[in-house]
Structure 1
Amino acid sequence: MTNMAIEQTSPQGVALDDDALRQATFRKVIWRMLPILTLGYVFNFLDRTNIAFAALQMNRDIGLSATQFGWGAGILFIGYCGFEIPSNMMLYRFGARIWISRIMISWGLLSCAMSLVSGPTSFYLMRFALGVAEAGFFPGVAFFLSAWFPAQYRARILSWFLVAIPFSSVIGGPLGGMLLELDGNHGLAGWQWLFIIEGLPAVIIGLILLKLLADRPQDAKWLTDDEKRVIIASVEGEKRDRAVTKFGSALRDVRVWICTVVYLGFTVGSYGIQIWLPQILKQQNLTNLEIGWISALPYLAASIGMILWARFADRSGRKVFNLATCCGLAAAGFLIAISTGRFDLSLLGLTAALVGVTAARAIFWSIPTRFLTGIAAAGGIAFINTIGTTGGFFGPTVVGWLKDATGTFEAGLLAMAGFLAVSMVFALLLKLVVRDE
């Protein structure tokens, strides 16, 4: 009877007697990797968006018009999207540890170098270079984590990593304001201090990652042989739905294209509200300080909602259904925001929209690795992220254009609801081609 119990295995291919060891091992891996990777992503978003605060002084100092600033702020995404797939191909070739560290060190140095811009041309060049340097970071981390954690862990793991996005919005405003107050210290403008102080941590974190990370469990000197065994068995023993192993095959797979449409839709909604939320709140005749604190509340709720919803999705196993529900909640939140004349209810609607799009992001990235492996996962994730990141252009542009055309933000928020509704419909279509269990 005892021998039979020992021979039984769990669905992940790990002996039942190894369950305690497996849980302890994954906790060990999580605490070694996740805090430093999440902190790195916080500074990734700070370095990407701190230009909004730097502009309060920089535009005047180097003579940028509003049009020139807008073009320079957006050109980062051209470099980012253009080099996303090549970057992940290089990650697959050289290994995640070296390449993720390289990305962080190079973007940190370039973010510091933003303090040297002196006019429109140098501003454009540095922003483009920063986008190139950042390319591949998120899809690289998503690919890296898929080699360490089986499917039943991934949504939770990604939620803790992706919580850096709303958290960076919680701290970015107050931090940017404080750094601008250093204006004139040691002969540097406040905006120069902002770029330097927020850029240096990325370099330091990149150097630390070289020591902390290992490409695969087999390479981790800080794991025992038994710990390596249970991780490898868990990852390799997971069920995959018609696995794709070649990059070319991934680009022809209908599941990849459906995932791309889903991701693009809720990314448009995410950037659409993120860029314009302060100006939406400004209509309530709030002070800048009040806007800073009030705008932090929806992102705080989004951070908590992302973690809890991802945990629920992992436990239920129904990732695709939960993804569709997240998109539906976001669409409903935008509609609530424009259907009531009360500020508190409108803010509640916008908070629901942010919870939906933020939770959708964490749950979404646990789905492609169900059917993409190896170089197909590295390239396929990068492809999906490349197309989706163009939402950084479309979301703010659509809201701004409709604001100019109608004089209010209602049409723009209605458009965001439409994009999220499309994402919900395609997420439901995804249920037809991806096993949801």
Structure 2
Amino acid sequence: MIVEKQLIRKISWRLIPFLGLLYLIAYIDRQNVSFAKLQMVDALGMSESAYGLGASLFFIGYFLFEVPSNLILAKVGASKWFARILVSWGLVTVALAFTQNATMFYILRFLLGACEAGFFPGVLYLLTLWYPSAHRGTMVGLFMIFSALANAIGGPLGGMLLDLDGLHGLAGWEWVFIVTGIPAVVMGVVTFFYLPDNPARASFLTADEKAWLGAKLASEQVGMDDSASHALRALIDPRVLLMALCFIAFPLSAYGLSYWLPTVVKSFGVGNTANGFLNIIPWVLVAIGLYTVPRAAAKAKSKTPYIVGPALFGVACLLLSALLQNHALQFMFLCLAAAGIFAGQPVFWSLPSRFLKGAGAAAGLAAINAVGNLGGFIAQNAVPWVKDATGSTIAPMFFLAACLFVGAMLVLVMTGMTARSEALAARARPST
């Protein structure tokens, strides 16, 4: 007899640390621009707003190629497609070290988004092939902890690499891109040989374990709306569109804070390396939130409070960071805000699996993530614009707080509408 907990633990030890390591590399390669910025703006002669535009073009490439990338992944398998994603984004990251002007920076940031597109929703789709629905929120939380680790590692790493300025004739910001890009290329090769595409191809599972898992996953799809099983229909499913709209606020506030935090800390008068180490603190709190909130939500009947509650906590902390004048208190509330912004996101991602499956899941998850991540494009343009308009490095937190509050309210609307729709559908089904 298959013991579910033992099987889930076995799968998790094989998949989650490895996928998390890839996400760690991905997140460092997204966020390295926030540290490179501290030298690169002057080196390329750009304004804060112009640099913000270039950094944000990542999200345009990401948006355009997210859904096609995930549909290809569903056809060719995770091992091949993730390998392609990793190698290509690693090479583009290294190429950023040789940026000569603003135009080249803009092109490479767009290409970086296009190359990485499909990775995060691809992992979400992969988890639907490996885990029964009851376990997915927890697994997404464990997976996303690596984004917090990436920021914790990336901060000190970025600061120390900036201090290599002049080594072997390279600027510090050039070292940032070279050192952070190479691991993606190496892990792309490793991924091709290590990562199984699905349970049926997993050599570490027994035949009985594969059979039990296949039956369990199939039983959860019985009675699921067939309109979501087709990729194109999933893209216009009202539930997908509403979730995409809700999700915009979370990447917007997350990227706005993580992109701007090194600049805020620098305004306190600290050096590059000290700045990097101070940036560990918020991501330790984020990791704690990503571990505890999804586990608590897994035991609860209603998931909504575990999405909205952390978001509203983040709103309050962002407002306090902008209202208070003491640097230590500002930094403390920014750290707590980061935890609030991230902690409920894994619970959010457990919602689409209630109505998406197969190619529809690949397309729908990619669409939600692609549209939502346009929030990153908004944040990386709006935050420096607010700073330039106000002359304050902390004033952009008001903007992030307002956006996050709107997102939390939209989640309440979305979950309420979804619950009513499911209740009506249940009453309409003929009794047996």
From 259, 264, 270, the counterpart of 1:280: 264
RMSD: 2.6
Residue 164 of structure 1 and its aligned partner are, at CA, apart by 2.3
Distance 1:254 1:290 in 2: 47
Residue in 2 that maps onto 1:370? 354
Residue in 2 that maps onto 1:296? 280
Residue 381 of structure 1 and its aligned partner are, at CA, apart by 1.0
Residue in 2 that maps onto 1:5? none
Distance 1:296 1:329 in 2: 20
From 60, 72, 80, the counterpart of 1:78: 60
Residue in 1 that maps onto 2:199? 217
Cα deviations across residues 5-36 of structure 1 (Å, max 9, x unaligned)? Answer: xxxxxxxxxxxx53x2x222221211111111
Judge conservation of contact 2:307–2:348 (CA < 8 Å) in 1.
yes
Establish whether residue 138 from structure 1 lines up as the match of residue 120 from structure 2: yes
Residue 285 of structure 1 and its aligned partner are, at CA, apart by 4.0
Residue 245 of structure 1 and its aligned partner are, at CA, apart by 0.7
Long gaps (5+) in structure 1: 1-16
The TM-score with structure 1 as length reference comes to 0.87
Give the residue type in structure 2 aligned to 1:248: L
Long gaps (5+) in structure 2: 424-432
What secondary structure is seen at the aligned counterpart in 1 of 2:97? helix
Change (3 A) 1:70 1:399: closer
The TM-score with structure 2 as length reference comes to 0.88
From 236, 239, 251, the counterpart of 1:252: 236
Judge conservation of contact 1:152–1:315 (CA < 8 Å) in 2.
no
Residue in 1 that maps onto 2:406? 422
* Same amino acid, percent of matched pairs: 37
From 72, 95, 104, the counterpart of 1:122: 104
What secondary structure is seen at the aligned counterpart in 2 of 1:311? helix
What secondary structure is seen at the aligned counterpart in 1 of 2:7? helix
Cα deviations across residues 297-333 of structure 1 (Å, max 9, x unaligned)? Answer: 1221111111111111122253233112222222222
Distance 2:12 2:403 in 1: 34
Judge conservation of contact 2:151–2:280 (CA < 8 Å) in 1.
yes
Cα deviations across residues 261-300 of structure 1 (Å, max 9, x unaligned)? Answer: 2210122111222222233334444444443333321221
Judge conservation of contact 2:162–2:272 (CA < 8 Å) in 1.
no
Distance 1:111 1:30 in 2: 30
Establish whether residue 112 from structure 1 lines up as the match of residue 94 from structure 2: yes
Judge conservation of contact 1:33–1:212 (CA < 8 Å) in 2.
no
Residue in 2 that maps onto 1:226? 208
Residue in 2 that maps onto 1:172? 154
Judge conservation of contact 2:229–2:358 (CA < 8 Å) in 1.
yes
Change (3 A) 1:193 1:349: closer
From 33, 39, 46, the counterpart of 1:51: 33
Judge conservation of contact 1:88–1:378 (CA < 8 Å) in 2.
yes
Change (3 A) 1:70 1:267: closer
Distance 1:319 1:100 in 2: 31
Map 1:229-378 onto structure 2 (within 5 A): 229-238=211-220, 242=225, 244-378=228-362
Give the residue type in structure 1 aligned to 2:109: R
Change (3 A) 1:266 1:52: closer
Residue 146 of structure 1 and its aligned partner are, at CA, apart by 1.2
Change (3 A) 1:101 1:317: farther
Cα deviations across residues 98-123 of structure 1 (Å, max 9, x unaligned)? Answer: 11121111111222233333334433
Distance 2:291 2:244 in 1: 23
Aligned length, in residue pairs: 418
Judge conservation of contact 1:264–1:388 (CA < 8 Å) in 2.
yes
Cα deviations across residues 166-219 of structure 1 (Å, max 9, x unaligned)? Answer: 222211122123334445555554444432322121122122222222222112
